[in-house]
Structure formats: structure tokens, C-alpha cells
Amino acid sequence: MQDAINLVMLICAAVAALAFGVLAAYGICRVAFAALKMHARSYALKAPQTKPEVAHP
């Protein structure tokens, strides 16, 4: 009986570790994309505004 409880605890610990890793990676990606969005927004404000070029036939 003790072996079955140990096995269940081991499985639960493995699933919890996987879930923590997924959530940590999700959080890191959210922070990175927010930083990239802020960088793109600041770059767009600094970039010179040019007129779009029109192709002439």
C-alpha cells in the first residue's frame, strides 16, 4: 500500500513540475512580448514618417 501511495505522490509531483514549467515559460513569453511591443512603439515614434511610394506603370 505504501508503494502505491509513493507512486501516486511521484506522479503528482511530476505533473506539478511540468505545469510549473509551462506556466513559467508562458510568463517569460508574456514579459518578452510586452517588452518587444514597447520597443516597437518607441521605435515607431522615433522613425521618420515617410510617404508610401507608388509604383508607376
The alpha carbon torsion through 43, 45, 48, 53 (nearest 10 deg) reads 90
The tens digit of pLDDT for each residue in 12-52 reads: 999 999 999 999 999 999 999 999 999 888 877 776 666 77
Per-residue buried b or exposed e for 10-48, using 16+ beta carbons within 10 Å of the residue's own CB:
eeeeeeeeeeeeeeeeeeeeeeeeeeeeeeeeeeeeeee
Task: Say what the pTM is.
Answer: 0.62
Residue 47, pLDDT score? 67
Length, in residues, of the chain: 57
Residue 41, pLDDT score? 85
- pLDDT tier at 9 (50, 70, 90 boundaries)? very high
Per DSSP, helices labelled H in the chain are 2-46
